[in-house]
Structures are given as structure tokens and as C-alpha cells.
Amino acid sequence: MKSFLTFIQEQFLLERASPSNVMQHETAAIDDVNKQIEEKKGKSDHIKVKMGRTTHEITHAEKVPGTPKADFMLHDKNGNHIYLSHKAGSSVKDFQQLGGTTEHGDNSAVQHLVSHIKKKYKGDGKSMPGTVATKLDRSNPEHEQLLHKAAFGNDYGNKHKGINNVHAIVQGKVNLEKGSSGHHEIHATNVYKNGKLPSKVQGMVSARYMGGRKNHGLNNIRTGVLPVGSRTVAEYV
């Protein structure tokens, strides 16, 4: 059984990452970006924003409906939108969860964790001492692929960007600033462009108690891919 301290820590993390709090941060970011775009437009109906080698003609920012990887997009008047995943906080440890594991049940890291929980805890989160996790080995291509799909979306690897293959993860306040090219560039506390997760971003597949939730044949458990250090882990396997 988990300790009282572990329980309090997990409740704090759940509150900080609650849908209402996340939505507030996203809405504030979108409103702020739209304000910047309007101020920079002048007499034009758009501003030019460079992402990678492509220059986009951006008219406004808007929320992406549903729950894909992209939280909002910068609307390109020509349809070539920039898709962004927004995170609050100031470090990768503030990300809480990068992505789910539902579509990655055949990944060896996921299978290893699931097998351990079935054997040691009879597949039930009620018996776990807290969060149980296995670290991803970034030198392992299979683990590296899982980490990138969790970060940028399940369509990661496709040459076309979209709601589930975002151009970048942006953390904290987003600023549109002119670069050396004369076009605006996206700046934030941290910007992680598609496929360019720095080595400091280490991931883990985790499982924690969630009453009534089922994942990979486990009961009362929610699994996910998280940054190492973003959550107190009772047991690594």
C-alpha cells in the first residue's frame, strides 16, 4: 500500500494537471499569441512566421478541438498551419504526461511494465505502493520511437505535420520575435522542435492507481509516458 506522503504528493500533481488548470494555461497562451499577432500585423492581414525552412503567413492562433497532441495552431492563410503542443511550467519535469500507451501495447518497455505488475500486484493498481515505472533507454530505437510519439503525437515520423504530429512543444509564455531572416520565430521558455528532443529529456513508462480505469489488461491503473522526475516513483522495474 502507498504511504500517506506518496498519496498527498500524487493528489497535488493531479490537481496541478487537472483539465481545468491545463485549459486555463492553454487559453491564456492563445489569447496572448493573438494579441501579439494583432500588434505586429500593421496594415497587413498576417505576419510571416518561420518554422524550420518554411515561412508561414499567420493570421491568428486558435484552439484545436478535441484531444489530439496539438493544443492550438497558428492559422496559415494558405492552409499550411503550425501545430503546437503547449506545456505550462519551466522545465521538462513540469510536463506531467507526455502521452498515453494505449496504442503502444506491443512496445517492449510497456510489456515489461505490464508483465511486472501482473506478476507482483496481480494486475491491480489497488495493490501498488504508488507509481510503478520502467525507464526508457534512449539508445534503444524502439524506446526512442515511443518517447517521440508520446511527445509529438502518434503520427510522428510522417513527413506531414498535423494535429498528431506537431511542429513543436512550447513551454511557458510564447513569444513571436523577429529573427535574422526578418521573419518572426517562435520563442518560449523551452521550445522542442519535432524530432529534436535533447538528451536531457529522459522518459519512463509509468503506471499509477486510478479507480475504474483499465489499461493493457490491468485494473484500476492508468499508464502513460512521462518525463523522469515529473512524478514520485515508488518502484522502478
Domain ranges of the chain: 4-92+154-193, 93-144+201-236
Give me the mean pLDDT over the 9-34 stretch. Answer: 69
Q: What is the pLDDT of residue 20?
A: 59
Confidence of residue 136 (pLDDT cuts 50, 70, 90): very high
**Chain position carrying cell 499569441:** 33
Q: What is the pLDDT of residue 36?
A: 97
Q: What is the pLDDT of residue 172?
A: 93
Q: What is the pLDDT of residue 98?
A: 92
Q: What is the pLDDT of residue 19?
A: 56
Q: What is the pLDDT of residue 181?
A: 83
pLDDT at 4 over 70: no
Q: What is the pLDDT of residue 12?
A: 41
Grid cell listed for 139: 539508445
Q: What percent of the chain has pLDDT over 70?
A: 91
pLDDT at 213 over 90: yes
Asked if 146 contacts 109 with a C-beta cutoff of 8 angstroms, the reply is: yes
Asked if 131 contacts 227 with a C-beta cutoff of 8 angstroms, the reply is: no
pLDDT tens-place string over residues 76-96: 999 999 999 999 888 888 887
Asked if 61 contacts 31 with a C-beta cutoff of 8 angstroms, the reply is: no
Give me the mean pLDDT over the 182-208 stretch. Answer: 95
- In the Cβ-directed half-sphere of 176, how many Cα atoms lie within 13 Å? 28
Enumerate helices (H) and strands (E) in the chain, giving the number of each.
4, 12
pLDDT tens-place string over residues 94-126: 887 899 999 999 999 999 999 999 999 999 999
More confident call, 14 vs 203: 203
Q: What percent of the chain has pLDDT over 90?
A: 82
Torsion of CA 125, 154, 189, 18, to 10 degrees: -40
Confidence of residue 132 (pLDDT cuts 50, 70, 90): very high
